[in-house]
Amino acid sequence: MKLTPLLTHNAIVQRHQSIPVWGWTEKPRTRITATLGPSRAVGISGDDARFLLRLPELPAGGPHTLVVEASDGSERVEVTGILVGEVWFASGQSNMEWTMTASGYDADIAAALPKQIRMFKVALRSDLAPQSTVMGTWELATPSTFGEFSAVAHFFAQRLQDEIGVPVGVINCTWGGSIIETWISRSRLLSNPDTRDLVMEYEQHAYSAAGFEAFLPEKIFPADPGNEGVPKRWHQADFEDGHWPVFPVPDIWQNHGHNYSAVMWFRRSFSLPESFRGKELTLHLGAADKQDITYVNGVEVGRTGAGFEESFWNKPRSYRIPAELTLQPELLIAVRVYSFRHGGGLIGPSEVMRLEPAVNSAGQNVPLAGEWRCQMEHNFGFIDFPCFQGMGHGQVNSYAMLFENMVRPLLPVGIAGAIWYQGESNVGRSSQYARMMCDLIGDWRFHFGCGDFPFGIVQLTSWMGAMEHQPASDWARLREAQQDALDVPGTGLAVILDVGDADDIHPKDKKTVGQRLAQWALAKVYGRAGSPGGPLYRGYRSEGSRIRILFDQAEKGLALRDGDAVRTLMIAGKEGDFMPARSSLEEASLVAWHDEIPEPVAVRYAWADNPEGANLVDTSGYPAGPFRTDR
């Protein structure tokens, strides 16, 4: 007998709902019984040996032991440490996937205790065949596991747990770089005129013999031809690399004139503090995009990823350095990085990259970010995709791919709600995004079968060069489409314009993001006092030479984070030329005008990829969402 991985040791199940228990018996048509605490259910497996029982609901608490056994005693599974509480589904692309380690929360990781927050990371999979189950385990937040937790999801769960006082579990179902279409079911995509014909055309190619072969990674991408650096002694401490170009780590090599897929070597010598010598050390290398082999003083100390695996491109590497390699005052680190598509390099972040004693009570470390030496081993050229931009078997951004591989196999798990952080990969198609966002919410609510559960959306943050106003901003239009999804009942929006990073699409402040999602959930789902978030544009009213902007979620009034005027606020007359607006805050509304525009027709706020300086907030300090009146 085998249970779903979602019902392994230390699982958290949803309170106040019937509790699904499912799996597979060794023989079909087996009568089985399940017990969890005081709850009991009886059922039978089907002709395919799969079974599904539903236990009566339980209040928050535990730990409980789950026992599932055949009535004749031939099969039995016992699972311990199960808690009953709130289970949230966290999904999206890399900013939701980004881990505690990658975000630099080292102090939180070191202080982690196995409290009542647990996370289940759904293993990445993108097969053309639909799946019946997933791989993964429930992890407690300990120093050895906590670093791999989604940072946004953790801080969301921590705030909930602190406020409502029950166990909180998170199902972390994410994939960096994924588009929204891959998370939606085929049936729902076919109901959308924007995607229906594309899905049908894609399937004609993907399932044809020639199409299937064309989409295999080995048919598209260059295989690693073998390590030619070791015979050349590039991994050895005595190799002279002074003629190699200098490379700033962390970064991808495409940002430095190498616009191709490749195998690159990175080398740097470090002086060891006296207290480090002769001791076992830990090398925190940061993330290597995509596969790496790492050497210290000529000895391999670790490697991550193989072949065409893509799941490790943003996974920070931590490797043990034996004491026998640290006897000398100098340490040479050499890293061979293989990337067969998109970016490649040592990508950090810099705060994570350090060398430290394996037992580091004093908190000593040697920072690793800075100038390294770099040399190309293999240049594969610029790799383009076949038709459908690389859709097909093994390709994450195929229509419904992640729904079939990572969402449907989780059903019928019980959840309290979902949080979603995605959109970067759909920038440029904002006109379709609002409909697809609504489709995603309805699709998941239908398939999960937990009613119209609450759905929290993270609005895209600021990125790229700062501008006061950018008329054709794709990021602003995508943010607008995300707010449009609030037309679906039971949804919420976390505005995070103020935590972006102009130079990094993965800003490090994930705590603010998670806590703002939690604030929405506490206010709207759990009935706690306080605003669910910042002011959101509702509409406007023309008042002669002025325009009054009306907001939702601004009952306690508007304020400014800093300064004495609203910044990034623009106003235009009939000619359509936008100019910086004057403004005043009048309780829950914003009044905008310009002395040289007697008949204004449109107002925009924070309308740019990176509207740096946007400072309109509510009296609790939550930022207002960007808007335009001239849609």
Q: Parallel, antiparallel, or unpaired for β 558-560 and 117-121?
A: unpaired
Confidence of residue 388 (pLDDT cuts 50, 70, 90): very low
Flag whether pLDDT at 311 surpasses 80.
no
Flag whether pLDDT at 215 surpasses 90.
no
Task: Give me the helix-helix angle, 151-164 and 511-524, nearest 10°.
Answer: 40
Confidence of residue 390 (pLDDT cuts 50, 70, 90): low
State what percent of residues in the chain have pLDDT above 90: 80
Alpha carbons 303 and 314: distance in angstroms, whole number: 14
Does 561 fall in a domain? Answer: yes
Looking at residue 383, its pLDDT comes to 67
Q: What is the pTM of this model?
A: 0.81
Could you count the other beta carbons within 10 Å of the beta carbon of residue 107? Answer: 9
Does 7 fall in a domain? Answer: no
> What is the average per-residue pLDDT within 18-26?
97
Flag whether pLDDT at 398 surpasses 70.
yes
Domain that holds residue 560: 536-628
Between residues 293 and 127, the one the model is more confident about: 293
Alpha carbons 25 and 537: distance in angstroms, whole number: 54
Looking at residue 511, its pLDDT comes to 95
Alpha carbons 310 and 462: distance in angstroms, whole number: 27
Looking at residue 128, its pLDDT comes to 86
Given 381, 396, 431, the domain boundary residue is: 381
**Residue 485, burial from CB neighbour count under 10 angstroms (0-12, 13-18, 19+):** buried
Long-range contacts of residues 566-569, Cβ cutoff 8 Å, at least 24 apart:
566/590, 566/592, 566/605, 566/615, 566/616, 567/468, 567/613, 567/614, 567/615, 568/468, 568/469, 568/605, 568/606, 568/607, 568/608, 568/611, 568/612, 568/613, 568/614, 568/615, 569/603, 569/604, 569/605, 569/616
Does 309 fall in a domain? Answer: yes
Q: Residue 274 belongs to a domain with what CATH number?
A: 2.60.120.260
| Partners of 593 in beta bridges | 546, 582
> What is the average per-residue pLDDT within 614-618?
95
Looking at residue 334, its pLDDT comes to 98
Alpha carbons 504 and 407: distance in angstroms, whole number: 29
Alpha carbons 220 and 205: distance in angstroms, whole number: 15
Closest to 553 in 3D by CA, of 541, 528, 540, 536? 536
Does 162 fall in a domain? Answer: no
Does 176 fall in a domain? Answer: no
pLDDT tens-digit map of 74-119:
999 999 999 999 999 999 999 999 999 888 888 888 787 777 899 9
Alpha carbons 388 and 392: distance in angstroms, whole number: 8
Flag whether pLDDT at 389 surpasses 90.
no
Alpha carbons 13 and 3: distance in angstroms, whole number: 14
pLDDT tens-digit map of 154-204:
999 999 999 999 999 999 999 998 999 999 999 999 999 999 999 998 888
Closest to 547 in 3D by CA, of 627, 621, 481, 486? 627
Does 554 fall in a domain? Answer: yes
Non-local CB neighbours of 603 within 8 Å, separated by 6+ positions: 540, 547, 549, 569, 570, 571, 572, 581, 592, 628, 629
Given 381, 408, 426, the domain boundary residue is: 381
> What is the average per-residue pLDDT within 20-34?
97
Between residues 219 and 506, the one the model is more confident about: 506
> What is the average per-residue pLDDT within 60-82?
95
Looking at residue 323, its pLDDT comes to 95
pLDDT tens-digit map of 353-385:
999 999 887 778 999 999 999 999 999 987 655
Looking at residue 387, its pLDDT comes to 43
pLDDT tens-digit map of 267-304:
999 999 999 999 999 999 999 999 999 999 999 999 99
Looking at residue 106, its pLDDT comes to 82
Number of compact structural domains in the chain:
2
Could you count the other beta carbons within 10 Å of the beta carbon of residue 30? Answer: 21
Collapsing DSSP states into helix, strand and coil, what is residue 248? strand
pLDDT tens-digit map of 547-561:
999 999 998 899 999
Angle at 238 between CA 232 and CA 243, to 5 degrees: 70
Does 597 fall in a domain? Answer: yes
Least confident span in 50-54, 311-315, 392-396, 419-423: 392-396
Tell me the residue type at 275.
S
- Please provide the average confidence, as pLDDT, over all residues in the chain: 93
Kindly state the tokens that stand for 603: 């107002």
Q: Residue 590 belongs to a domain with what CATH number?
A: 2.40.10
Does 336 fall in a domain? Answer: yes
Looking at residue 212, its pLDDT comes to 66
Given 361, 381, 401, the domain boundary residue is: 381
